[in-house]
Amino acid sequence: MQLFHTIQDIRQYVADKRAAGRRIGFVPTMGYLHAGHLSLVERGKREADIVIMSIFVNPLQFGPNEDLDQYPRDLERDLQLAETVGVDAVFAPSVREMYPHQQLTFINTELLTDNLCGASRPGHFRGVTTVVGKLFNIVQPDKAFFGQKDAQQVRVIQQMVADLNMPVAVIGCPIVREADGLAMSSRNVYLSPEERRQALILNQSLTEAQKLFEQGERSADVLTDYVSRRIQLAPFAKIDYVKLVDLQTLSDIREISGESLLAVAVRFGGTRLIDNIVLQP
Ligand code: AMP
């Protein structure tokens, strides 16, 4: 596995692979890898010849009061894990390498970023789309792999790629969970044992809502009220949102008639967790 820190070096690596006719798969991450990230690599290995992973904690997507400084980082450990699943090259640039001077150009995807995490985290998706756009220009992948855990992110990036005619296929991959159902996240390490125990309510309540849906419930109010009430039973949980939205537009719906996303964001102490489930009539 090769490690690159500069744009020039990764560009050269990609140019050589492309000249040899290799299809490039790309997995962008912020590091502190877990099995969720590794599942994206495994999918990439099946669908491309070369898998490049980026590890970059992108300051642009963190708000002023968010956890940029506390975000967990361990490049050595990440490199070992990346190697075990067959990553071919890691691109781990510094902030200076990615933002050598004040960035004045941004990618902004409208409407899709107004709801859900976009509403709670102003500027977050502008930071995500801008850095992913930069990374796509640097790595020039044929396919890029993103986790459905960040369902809004997948949708926004698919829209960006379509709107800006970027020559990359964006592939959404299933959420990987711990054995007890908690969606894997680099932020789970912040949870105290008690917070972690209570956080199981996210997946549990979503799964129960799915059962109600399968039994015929179609009302957004009924389903979101159910999930909210279940989560509120966890004493440490502070709900940011519980929403049922159309999977394409990400805007609120009243009744489920097409593919829909039931999504939650909940704080446990200083840790904000998200989870979701797709409901398909
Ligand atoms: P992050 O490092 O949190 O920015 O995540 C990098 C990529 O891994 C994103 O596409 C995430 O959606 C994806 N990812 C994070 N957690 C999971 C998970 N539990 N299952 C599947 N994909 C995930």
CATH at 239 = 3.30.1300.10
Q: Is residue 23 part of a domain?
A: yes
- CATH number of the domain bearing residue 48: 3.40.50.620
Question: How remote is the CA of residue 215 from the centroid of ligand 1, in Å?
Answer: 31
Does residue 195 sit in the same domain as residue 221?
A: yes
Q: Is residue 275 part of a domain?
A: yes
The verdict on the CB of residue 98 being under 6 Å from ligand 1 is no
Q: Are strands 24-29 and 260-268 parallel, antiparallel or unpaired?
A: unpaired
Question: How remote is the CA of residue 19 from the centroid of ligand 1, in Å?
Answer: 30
- Domain hosting residue 239, numbered range: 186-279
Average pLDDT over every residue of 122-146: 98
Does residue 201 sit in the same domain as residue 148?
A: no
**Where a domain ends, among 173, 203, 224?**
173
The whole-model pTM stands at 0.98
The verdict on the CB of residue 29 being under 6 Å from ligand 1 is yes
What digits encode the pLDDT tens for the residues 47-86?
A: 999 999 999 999 999 999 999 999 999 999 999 999 999 9
Confidence of residue 281 (pLDDT cuts 50, 70, 90): very high
Q: Is residue 131 part of a domain?
A: yes
Distance CA 30, CA 88 (A): 17
The verdict on the CB of residue 176 being under 6 Å from ligand 1 is yes
CB 173 within 8 A of CB 146: yes
Q: Is residue 181 part of a domain?
A: no
Q: What are phi and psi of 28, to 5 degrees?
A: -80, 135
Please state the separation of Cα 173 from the chain's center in Å: 10
Confidence of residue 276 (pLDDT cuts 50, 70, 90): very high
Candidates 5, 34, 37, 101; catalytic one: 37
The atom number, within ligand 1, closest to the CA of 33 reads: 2
Question: How remote is the CA of residue 58 from the centroid of ligand 1, in Å?
Answer: 14
pLDDT value, residue 223: 98
pLDDT value, residue 76: 98
Does residue 161 sit in the same domain as residue 71?
A: yes
Does residue 241 sit in the same domain as residue 105?
A: no
pLDDT value, residue 23: 98
Does residue 90 sit in the same domain as residue 138?
A: yes
Q: Is residue 180 part of a domain?
A: no
Q: Going by CA atoms, what residue is nearest to atom 13 of ligand 1?
A: 147
Does residue 128 sit in the same domain as residue 202?
A: no
Gyration radius (Cα) of the chain, Å: 19
Does residue 140 sit in the same domain as residue 221?
A: no
Report the 3 state secondary structure along the chain.
Answer: CEEECCHHHHHHHHHHHHHCCCCEEEEEECCCCCHHHHHHHHHHHHHCCEEEEEECCCHHHCCCCCCCCCCCCCHHHHHHHHHHCCCCEEECCCHHHHCCCCCCCCCCCCCCCCCHHHHHCCCHHHHHHHHHHHHHHHHCCCEEEEEHHHHHHHHHHHHHHHHCCCCCEEEEECCCECCCCCECCHHHHHCCHHHHHHHHHHHHHHHHHHHHHHCCCCEHHHHHHHHHHHHHCCCCEEEEEEEEEECCCCCECCECCCCEEEEEEEEECCEEEEEEEEECC
Does residue 154 sit in the same domain as residue 225?
A: no
How does the average pLDDT of the chain come out, rounded?
A: 98
The verdict on the CB of residue 186 being under 6 Å from ligand 1 is yes
Confidence of residue 148 (pLDDT cuts 50, 70, 90): very high
Sheet hosting strand 271-279, strand order edge to edge: 237-246, 260-268, 271-279
Cβ count within 10 A of residue 25: 28
37 is catalytic: yes
Does residue 190 sit in the same domain as residue 163?
A: no
Average pLDDT over every residue of 148-177: 98
What digits encode the pLDDT tens for the residues 182-226?
A: 999 999 999 999 999 999 999 999 999 999 999 999 999 999 999
The atom number, within ligand 1, closest to the CA of 187 reads: 3
Does residue 134 sit in the same domain as residue 220?
A: no
Question: How remote is the CA of residue 35 from the centroid of ligand 1, in Å?
Answer: 9
